[in-house]
Structure 1
Amino acid sequence: MITLAEVARHAGVSASTVSYVLSGKRSISPGTCERVERSIHELGYHAGARALAGGKSDVIALVLPLRTDTYAPVTMETVLAVTTTARTYGYDVLLLTGDDGPAAVRRATAGALADAMILMDAEPADERLPLLRESDKPSVLIGLPADPTGLTCVDLDFTATGALCAEHLAALGHRDIALITEPSAVHEHPAGSAGRTLHGLRAKSRELGLSVHHLSGGDGRTAMTDTLAHTFAEHPATTGFVVQHEPAVEPLLHSLRRLGRPVPEDISVIAICPDRVALHSSVPLTSVAIPTPELGRRAVDRIIAELTGEGAADITLIPPALTTRTTSGPAPA
């Protein structure tokens, strides 16, 4: 059976253009329409038959987390990016909550509910992955599991992120630095984002001659003050902190002030977080942005490529970008 992608190649246009000509959802020039229609006729492409055979719905299911620790504005940035990008291809988006686990995946992959699926909350060890591998419908994970074999994933390159943070602090003269993550994040999921950041930070620090300590930071001010007091007692030369745990950022800044270690005069802080978080902190944070809108856009682009037969399972890692604001500066003399 002729595919939409084959029609697009024959007509010399993109698959989305063929889709728009068929659906009428976007204005296409008369010359392009004529070329596409001629290819459809010559190749014998029957869109209606294909839709019935495949149960095509022009819907992409988006599975998103609804956890108490989820920062809703950031989640909605991704949802908006997925939705608006999908519309440019003529697709609607169906939101499914991540609380149902495998059940949500089964609903999205069974029958004609959706043509494809995006999972926003992919984890290193995710019980839904076998279902995705078994399904004949395209899927994209925002995140990187421990074993991505046979899956399409988009994520920030957290290994490169750790290396970038080490380079920034080293250039400012810091020689003893610490990474603060969610408690047990690295130990439970060494292949997760925090584990990859730590790996990149340590590798680059060895190259640059820096010392690195890993801390599991509590969310509260008292817990953070105790953690810092212990850190400075054990490693008094520590002058740089990288934080990859958003709830720990404000307790860290507060505790440093309480301990008489001003930022950035004595201590530099880099946060790995969405720009919205960095800009709305009590002070503008030097940060490596988690590019939530770009992750959403790229996830849809990968889905469309697979739906039109123009893509295969692969991993897309977005290079990190560090923005210097008010929380990093030269190491104290």
Structure 2
Amino acid sequence: MVTLAEVAKHAGVSASTVSYVISGKRSISLGTRDRVQRSIQELGYHPNAGARALASSKSNIIALMMPLRTDMYVPVMMEIAIAITTAARTYGYDVLLLTGEEGSAAVHRVTGSGLADAMILMDVELEDERLPLLRESDKAVVLIGLPADTIGLTCVDLDFAATGALCAEHLAELGHRDIAVIGEAPAVYERHTGFAERTLDGLRAKSRELGLRMLHRPSEGGYAAMADTLARVFDERPGTSGFIVQNESAVEPLLGLLRQQGRAVPEDVSVVAICPDQVALQASVRLTSVSIPAQEMGRQAVERIIAKLAGEGVDGVDLIAPELTVRASSGQNPL
């Protein structure tokens, strides 16, 4: 079994420095910390959790609150969770996954005990009921998502407002003027989930700026729900030539129904998606898309948590700029 002393020798530092990097008790320069973490990873060092906790009164556990709801795309959430777990291990932390829809009760359970040293929260709502408890707690907390009021909070997320604007701008540049947004399930908007609401804000603002006529229609996904949604769109706006999809389960049903109606993509109708690259690349038509940077979001959240635990973190919002990749599903408006 690899010892702490062997890690110290490999990294060219003292044993106490390795201990401080693992415990976060003292501020260590970024270069030294990186060198120690590389040595830990290369040698396969695993600190003894029980001894570590007794010595420091810390659990060396990060609680990840990730409610698994049926109206959310679980693979993306799990990709973020895996990124968080992987990044946390490089700092000597394990991750406790809380998947229930307990809300503030789960926060109270964590903050009122030694269960975890810090928390990362996902599925953030604009008026999230968990926030008052978080603001009162002395635990290190990072949100993956943005509430309406971010004062006193640390948040990491894709810039979803800019994402919506980027999708609308792309279709406008191709000459589309009537666009429809196929959104998440209705329950996502009823909860005022932050990422969905901010995407809509960006879409609406950019559509007004560019003179686009925009319809937003939430959808449960699946062929039956998508057939009803698509029929409504073309009944209300027969000239719709551009679709923006922010619902992974609606992507393939939409493409299939358009084919059934004799509408070719992208010759007759353009489709842009906000989704993981895997979904965009495996669709029946390779989709022009803005990718969800799940791994980057998870990594940044852990880095902000570790900085807070080391007494170096400051509150604030880190937004990842969206990148749109043009593929086979978008083209010039034929009308």
Q: TM-score, normalised by structure 2?
A: 0.81
Assess, with a 3 A threshold, how the Cα gap between structure 1 residues 80 and 223 changes in structure 2: closer, same or farther: closer
Q: Say whether residues 1:135 and 2:137 are aligned partners.
A: yes
Give the corresponding residue for 2:13.
Answer: none
Structure 2 counterpart of 1:288, from 284, 287, 290: 290
Give the corresponding residue for 1:260.
Answer: 262
Q: Give runs of aligned pairs for residues 76-95 of structure 1, distance below 5 A.
A: 76-95=78-97
Percent identity between matched residues is 62
Assess, with a 3 A threshold, how the Cα gap between structure 1 residues 271 and 213 changes in structure 2: closer, same or farther: same
Structure 2 counterpart of 1:272, from 257, 271, 274: 274
Assess, with a 3 A threshold, how the Cα gap between structure 1 residues 140 and 67 changes in structure 2: closer, same or farther: same
Q: Give runs of aligned pairs for residues 195-206 of structure 1, distance below 5 A.
A: 195-206=197-208
Per-residue Cα deviation, 1:257-296 (whole angstroms, up to 9, x for no partner)? 2222111111111111122222233332211111111110
Structure 2 counterpart of 1:323, from 304, 322, 325: 325
- The one-letter amino acid paired with 1:102 is S
Structure 1 counterpart of 2:27, from 1, 5, 8: 8
Which range moves more in the overlay, 281-290 or 259-268? 281-290
Assess, with a 3 A threshold, how the Cα gap between structure 1 residues 142 and 16 changes in structure 2: closer, same or farther: farther
State the distance in 2 between where 1:71 and 1:81 align: 16
Assess, with a 3 A threshold, how the Cα gap between structure 1 residues 68 and 218 changes in structure 2: closer, same or farther: closer
Per-residue Cα deviation, 1:210-267 (whole angstroms, up to 9, x for no partner)? 2212222342323322332332232222100101122222221122122221111111
Shift of 1:304: 0.9
Equivalent residue of 2:313, what SS? Answer: coil
Q: Say whether residues 1:180 and 2:182 are aligned partners.
A: yes
Assess, with a 3 A threshold, how the Cα gap between structure 1 residues 161 and 185 changes in structure 2: closer, same or farther: farther
Assess, with a 3 A threshold, how the Cα gap between structure 1 residues 110 and 62 changes in structure 2: closer, same or farther: same
Q: Give runs of aligned pairs for residues 158-197 of structure 1, distance below 5 A.
A: 158-184=160-186, 188=190, 192-197=194-199
State the distance in 2 between where 1:100 and 1:18 align: 36
Gaps of 5+ in 2: 1-19, 44-51
Q: Give runs of aligned pairs for residues 66-145 of structure 1, distance below 5 A.
A: 66-145=68-147
Equivalent residue of 1:98, what SS? Answer: coil
Give the corresponding residue for 1:146.
Answer: 148
Structure 2 counterpart of 1:213, from 209, 212, 215: 215
State the distance in 1 between where 2:262 and 2:254 align: 12
Equivalent residue of 1:163, what SS? Answer: helix
Assess, with a 3 A threshold, how the Cα gap between structure 1 residues 186 and 238 changes in structure 2: closer, same or farther: farther
Give the corresponding residue for 1:245.
Answer: 247
State the distance in 1 between where 2:141 and 2:221 align: 34
Equivalent residue of 1:301, what SS? Answer: helix
Shift of 1:188: 2.9
Shift of 1:160: 0.3
Assess, with a 3 A threshold, how the Cα gap between structure 1 residues 75 and 308 changes in structure 2: closer, same or farther: same
- The one-letter amino acid paired with 2:27 is A
- The one-letter amino acid paired with 2:255 is L
State the distance in 1 between where 2:34 and 2:297 align: 25
